Amino acid sequence: MKRLVCCEDYEEEAEKVLIKEKWDYFSAGSCLGLTAKENIEAYKSYYILPRVLRDVSNIDTATTLLGQKVATPIGVAPTARHHNAHIDAEIPVAKAAKRSGVCMTQSIHSFKSIEEITESCEGEGLRWMQIQPMNDRPVLADIIQRAEKANYKAIVITCDDPRMPLHYKLMRDSPTLAIDPKVEYMGNFSKEFNNLIFQGMQEDISKWRRAVDKHCINSSTWE
């Protein structure tokens, strides 16, 4: 395998080593994939400004996130289905984030549980926990309390929906992947809860947001 030096190299290699169905899932957007393409184009509009006639002999990219030091203001966003790419799912990613000194936000849909990831990192490294609106308050409280016990430093609330996108390529090539992830096993929940917790909101989102704060004792909440 050639030396991988940029994101494009890793993407190219991933297409070679992953089975086609898994690669299609990771690389495809929904429908015609317009948003996925526009996301890439949007990143191309950002530039790093050159610094000239300045002392750059001692550069330090370290900063803080909610009071916690990180080596660089780049982290791992919450993403699911790591087990489709690696047998150990999120564990190698968590270890890499710890080794690099950056923050990892664990997805509520992670294949590995909070406890498994914490143990793999020997309790070290900066980790945040992502959650989504759910009507089952005891499950919500359990996730938050377990994250705090494992020394996760923040709760990240997102309002996306845990469903497979309608992508034409996947529907043509891999009809078995056109599934609802609610029937998949996720590491942070017992099997009997997997099909029950993600339901339509039955109350105002502001009330749900206050419920999250009520369960947060030592961690910060970031939307």
In a domain, 187, yes or no: yes
Only one residue has tokens 């909070």, namely 114
In a domain, 151, yes or no: yes
- Pairwise CA distance, residues 113 & 107, whole Å: 10
Taking 70 as the threshold, does the pLDDT of residue 46 lie above it? yes
In a domain, 94, yes or no: yes
The CATH number of whichever domain residue 114 belongs to comes to 3.20.20.70
Query: What total of structural domains would you count in the chain?
Result: 1
Taking 60 as the threshold, does the pLDDT of residue 31 lie above it? yes
121-179 pLDDT, tens per residue? Answer: 998 999 999 988 777 778 888 899 999 999 999 999 888 765 666 777 667 766 555 44
Annotate 21-47 with DSSP letters as a single string: HHHHHHH--SBT-HHHHHHHHHHTT--
Higher per-residue pLDDT: 222 or 212: 212
- When pLDDT is cut at 50, 70 and 90, the band that residue 17 belongs to is very high
pLDDT at residue 201, as a whole number: 56
Across residues 92-104, what is the average pLDDT? 97
User: How large a percentage of the chain has pLDDT more than 90?
Assistant: 43
Higher per-residue pLDDT: 207 or 150: 150
- When pLDDT is cut at 50, 70 and 90, the band that residue 208 belongs to is low
Q: Is the pTM higher than 0.85?
A: no
In a domain, 3, yes or no: no
Residue 67 lies in domain? 61-222
In a domain, 6, yes or no: no
In a domain, 53, yes or no: no
pLDDT at residue 211, as a whole number: 66
In a domain, 76, yes or no: yes
| Low-confidence winner among 20-34, 55-69, 108-122, 180-194 (lowest mean pLDDT) | 180-194
Q: Average per-residue pLDDT in the chain?
A: 81
In a domain, 83, yes or no: yes
